Amino acid sequence: MASKRNGKQTVKIQTPVSIASSACIVGPKEGQGPLRLYFDEIIEDEFWGEESWEKAESKLLRETFAKIINKASKTVNDIQYVIAGDLLNQCIATSFGLRESGIPFLGLYGACSTMAESMSVGAMLVEGGFADNLICVTSSHFCSAEKQFRFPLELGGQRPPTAQWTVTGSGGVMLSNQGTGPYIKHVTTGKIVDMGIKDANNMGAAMAPAAADTILTHFKDTGLKPEAYDLIITGDLGKLGKTICDELLRNQDLDISSRYNDCGAMIFDLERQDVHSGGSGCGCAASVLSGFVLNEMKKGTLNNVLLVATGALLSPTSTQQGESIPCIAHAVSISRNLS
Amino acid sequence: MEKILTKQEYVKYVEEKSPKSKLARNMTRAFVVGGLICVIGQLISNLLRTRGFSQEIVSNLTTMIMVFLGALFTGLNIYDELGRFAGAGSIVPITGFANSIVSPAMEFKSEGYVLGVGARMFVVAGPVLVYGISVSVVVGIIYYLLRF
């Protein structure tokens, strides 16, 4: 086995990979949610001065990217790679947003798991000595996602209680071989899990088995116990998916409930904000990570966190053809200490 | 995961676990709002009749006015809020039909007037038109044959 591998799906990051900076910008609805104080910037309207939602999403990603570099007191010339992706067809929010960046670019599609996926690839690149500094960033936009995946915004209709609300927001981090942490310790790459859910309005239930699978595998591969973490946080399972994931794990004799939360259930006030089961989208895990999690780590209230970003790998075409939803979850463990 | 639960078991488990729509509340809202829209239509229709229009013109004018109102309130970003509250109550009346055509037209304006507005305008209402017209043709033929 390759020396850095740690079990079937996990890689141990041995030379320190530090999260040098992070930033996030979110939409107005997220800016009214319970985490509003953690975000770097809250935009006032969904267009943000652009002509289309797609352009607005590109701008979100571009501005977040700039903020990440500024907060690390670096320049574009210090960055060797940018690893990014979004939800739109052909990842146009990302490629148009980073068009003028002039940095080698690796585009990813992991649906809403993109934040953890980009950090996984990024951590391995830095650890392997292929880069000093790189940026992992992702975005989603409620309006552009609705337009692509569902119905026009102005169409009057109701959503089922299991539906989730795509987060308008972008978040990202700079990974560096310098710096004082927090550090990425382990990367557990998920495999595609499809448990036969076909309802695109119930993504939480579709993705929960993938999240449970990755969490189980992470603990099996590393030999760690849930107590090793202050917080195990899934990407965007929402209220229902979170409950299911918790139950699936408990059936496997792994009880994480006391330290478990979900970005989708945290970013909105589920009672007050009419978002049904909670938030979703690439921007959900990205903004909760770079806003809430990393700020709390900086303060010292959180020391060890396992981020498990989840993605539903469907398309409108596959849904129309009656296919079930293949899902994925990638885990990245982050720690304030090196040992 | 499949080793623990089969797909069938999981789908069944999720069905039991998923919260259900609040049927009684939704149906009451749909009934009240749908009824109110019809009352407005009836008022317009009565008003026109007092102006001395024939029944055929009254029907056509009422339809046109209701479609206009549906389109107007869609453009004013009000109809989607109404739809979120009323569900089928605002989808089923003809104002909902107007909403289903105007909303994609607004949504896809950013792709231009030909490939955006023009091509996508019927993305929601298209199936209603196709099958509505097809069924009316079939019914018309049956009616024609039954007359003999």
Domain architecture of chain A: domains with CATH: 10-176 (3.40.47.40), 183-335 (3.40.47.40)
CB contact under 8 A, A156 and B86: yes
Q: Would residue B46 count as lying in a domain?
A: yes
A37 contacts A134 by C-beta, under 8 angstroms: no
User: Which of A316, A25, A329, A291 shows the shortest CA–CA distance to A145?
Assistant: A316
- Tracing tokens 């289903």 back to the chain, one arrives at B100
Give the C-alpha separation, B90 to B36, whole Å.
Answer: 10
Chain B residues with CB-CB distance to A202 below 8 A: 14, 18
Q: Would residue B10 count as lying in a domain?
A: no
A23 contacts A290 by C-beta, under 8 angstroms: yes
Q: What is the pLDDT of residue B61?
A: 96
Distance from CA of A202 to the nearest CA of B (A): 9
Q: Would residue B7 count as lying in a domain?
A: no
Length of chain A in terms of residues written: 339
CB contact under 8 A, B87 and A160: no
User: Which of A300, A304, A306, A307 shows the shortest CA–CA distance to A338?
Assistant: A304
Q: What is the pLDDT of residue B31?
A: 96
Give the C-alpha separation, A228 to A54, whole Å.
Answer: 41
**Interface list for B 33-92 with A (CB within 8 A):** 74, 77, 79-84, 86-87, 90-91
CB contact under 8 A, B18 and A202: yes
Strands (E), chain A: 10-12, 18-26, 41-42, 81-86, 105-107, 133-140, 165-166, 169-176, 183-188, 231-234, 260-262, 279-280, 304-312, 327-335
Chain B residues with CB-CB distance to A196 below 8 A: 7-8, 10-11
Q: Would residue B107 count as lying in a domain?
A: yes
Q: Would residue B1 count as lying in a domain?
A: no
Pair of tokens at residue A26? 């979110």
Give the C-alpha separation, A103 to A97, whole Å.
Answer: 12
**Interface list for A 111-170 with B (CB within 8 A):** 147, 151-158, 160-162
Interface with chain A: mutation pick from B3, B5, B12, B14, highest number of A CBs within 10 Å: B14
**pLDDT, tens digit (0-9, with 9 covering 90-100), for B91-137:** 999 999 999 999 999 999 999 999 999 999 999 999 999 999 999 99
A to B CB pairs, distance under 8 Å: 104
User: Between B69 and A2, where is the model more confident?
Assistant: B69
Q: Would residue B4 count as lying in a domain?
A: no
Domain count, chain B: 1
Q: Would residue B13 count as lying in a domain?
A: no
Q: What is the pLDDT of residue A1?
A: 76
Q: What is the pLDDT of residue B1?
A: 66
CB contact under 8 A, B91 and A153: no
Q: What is the pLDDT of residue B5?
A: 87
Distance from CA of B16 to the nearest CA of A (A): 11
What domain range includes position B127? 22-146
Q: What is the pLDDT of residue A134?
A: 97
CB contact under 8 A, B110 and A162: no
3-state helix, strand, coil in chain B (%, to 5): 80, 0, 20
Q: Would residue B63 count as lying in a domain?
A: yes
A160 contacts B21 by C-beta, under 8 angstroms: yes
The mean pLDDT values, 10 residues at a time, for chain A of 339 residues are: 90 95 97 96 95 96 97 96 96 96 96 97 97 97 95 90 96 95 96 95 96 97 96 96 96 95 96 93 97 96 97 95 97 92
Neighbours of A102 (CB within 10 A): 11
B2 — pLDDT class (breaks 50, 70, 90) = low
